[in-house]
Amino acid sequence: MSSSPDFEVRATGLWFPEGPIALRDGSVLLVEIGAGCLTRIAPEGRAERVAETGGGPNGAALGPDGACYVCNNGGFRWGGDAQNGRFPAGRAADYAGGRIERIDLASGQVQRLHERTPRGPLSGPNDIVFDKGGGCWFTDLGHMGETAIERGSICYAPADGGALRLAVQPMLTPNGIGLSPDEKTLYVAETVTARLWAFDIVAPGELALQPMPPALSPGRLLYAAAHYCMFDSLAVEAGGNICVATIGVGGQASPGGAGITVVAPDGRLVEQVYLPDRATTNICFGGPDLRTAFVTQSRSGRLLAMPWPRPGLALNFGA
């Protein structure tokens, strides 16, 4: 099933928005990767800058202490034009290293928490989700250069503030990350392959990995797109479906079009929701019944709001 839904443009003029978080008061926190900041979008669309992070703030989530935790990829250089919008075109000349940051929402103070794994520095942290115990899973996408791709990883930061754990390394451009409603499964979207992987969780920060070899990947392949596109960030519905932001042809309501790819926990394609911006990069759920989807349209610098046919999953420490 596919659809091209009606939507409200909640905000415009953003510089490659990502990482939306719906708040109880109807506002939405998001990052502007190009501007290096965390921004709050009021219900009427007014944008208020909350914090300056520098670098390239990417995925974001509220933690158990009420602060906002941000994956910072270290910064991009930018390509594009007025007609096609701005888009990442490699690492910035002043790339400052990947890191996980904590932002106090009252003061805007930014604190660097993690910059290294047991095997070396973080490269390009991308997306993040907290489990019910207060630990967080996040992806480090690595880096896509002009001549090579640096492979990434899946990491876990324990709730006690201890050292980062490497759960999976290497992995090819891991991006969106989310937990099943029972928190027994971790979902990770792979960007360049447009594949969605599932990992069984056996303990906080520990996955039941398939041996390599003979397996080609330590995870279970849940879904692979049948047409050319790329997968970005994701959110999970209350019923368990995984909603993956999909980069494709903007405004094309047919295979290869940009939007949201919805996959059932058993790997079935539930529906394709087509949207106008080829860089449809992230989705979150809000509203009193979690039936409003907020979607970032990054090239055009917009935040969309639209009714969703099924409720989203309430996040552990979300509003």
- Sorting pLDDT into bands at 50, 70 and 90, what band is 32? very high
Nearest by Cα to 17 from 194, 277, 317, 236: 277
Residue 133 has pLDDT above 90, yes or no: yes
Q: For 172-217, write each residue's pLDDT tens digit.
A: 999 999 999 999 999 999 999 999 999 999 999 999 998 888 777 8
Q: For 138-163, write each residue's pLDDT tens digit.
A: 999 999 988 899 999 999 999 888 88
pLDDT for residue 5: 80
pLDDT for residue 28: 98
Residue 14 near residue 6, CB atoms below 8 Å: no
Provide the strand spans (E) within 118-229: 120-121, 125-130, 136-140, 143-144, 149-150, 152-157, 165-171, 174-179, 185-190, 195-203, 206-208, 220-224
Q: For 48-71, write each residue's pLDDT tens digit.
A: 999 999 999 999 999 999 999 999
Share the mean pLDDT of the chain.
Answer: 95
pLDDT for residue 318: 80
Distance CA 60, CA 142 (A): 17
Residue 122 near residue 116, CB atoms below 8 Å: yes
Q: Which CATH number fits domain 2-307: 2.120.10.30, 2.40.50.140, 2.30.110.10, 3.30.70.1140?
A: 2.120.10.30
Average pLDDT over residues 39-44: 98
Q: For 266-280, write each residue's pLDDT tens digit.
A: 999 999 999 999 999
Structure tokens at 123: 């490269």
pLDDT for residue 211: 86
- The domain spans of the chain are 2-307
Question: Global pTM?
Answer: 0.96
How distant, in Å, are the alpha carbons of 2, 68, 115, 312 from that of 33? 30, 15, 18, 25
Nearest by Cα to 165 from 138, 191, 188, 186: 138
Average pLDDT over residues 298-309: 97
Count H helices, E strands: the chain? 0, 32
Q: What are phi and psi of 76, to 5 degrees?
A: -115, 155
- Sorting pLDDT into bands at 50, 70 and 90, what band is 319? low
Distance CA 217, CA 219 (A): 5
pLDDT for residue 29: 98
